[in-house]
Structure 1
Amino acid sequence: MDPLLGDIELFAFDFAPRHWMPCEGQTLSTATYQTLFSLIGITFGGNGITTFCLPDLRNALPMQGMGMHYCIAVEGIYPSRY
């Protein structure tokens, strides 16, 4: 089953699975990730025209140095508001 677009999950390995990105505050292009931008906007940074940022959850890990990563789904099902 596909994840919801923008879903954030903790993975117990040190890489992001296909269609996911680590939540490390990186800046993304609004043109490349239009649907994700439509959900999170500039909540975590960016200029809102050409860029937006993912949340930085590196310091929110339950156990530092254990190879875990929070990742966000950059592809998936667009969540319904109803």
Structure 2
Amino acid sequence: MDEFLIGEIIPVPYTFVPEFTLYCDGQEYPVQQFQLLFALIGFTFGGNGSTTFRVPNLKGFEPNPKIRYVIVTNGIFPDRY
């Protein structure tokens, strides 16, 4: 997944979550486990304010019922200008 930016949201036509991604379904995850992703999105989509954060919930916004959105957790850390 080195060709994707951490935090990039991509559509996938799979019934499984690809390696180094998480479904964009509003789930809560530990900050410690996904530090780079948390560094980019922080508590924007929720969390407990200290040890957990949430990914965006894009369920229902898919262009096709067989498509799911995932967010990249490992790859290139985007430059901030």
Q: TM-score, normalised by structure 1?
A: 0.89
Question: What RMSD, in angstroms, separates the aligned Cα atoms of the two structures?
Answer: 1.2
Aligned residue runs from structure 1 range 1-80, under 5 A: 2=2, 3-64=4-65, 67-80=66-79
Percent of aligned pairs sharing the same letter: 44
Query: Any stretches of 5+ residues in structure 1 without a counterpart?
Result: none
Question: 1:48: Cα distance to partner?
Answer: 2.6
Q: Secondary structure at the match of 2:69?
A: strand
Once the two structures are superposed, what CA deviation does each residue of 1:5-33 show, in whole Å capped at 9, x if it has no partner?
01100012222111111111110001111
CA distance in structure 1 between the aligned counterparts of 2:80 and 2:38, rounded to whole angstroms: 16
Once the two structures are superposed, what CA deviation does each residue of 1:29-70 show, in whole Å capped at 9, x if it has no partner?
011111111100111110231000000111111122xx2110
Q: Secondary structure at the match of 1:36?
A: helix
Q: TM-score, normalised by structure 2?
A: 0.90
Report the residue type matching 2:43 in the other structure. Answer: I
Equivalent residues, number: 80
CA distance in structure 2 between the aligned counterparts of 1:53 and 1:60, rounded to whole angstroms: 17
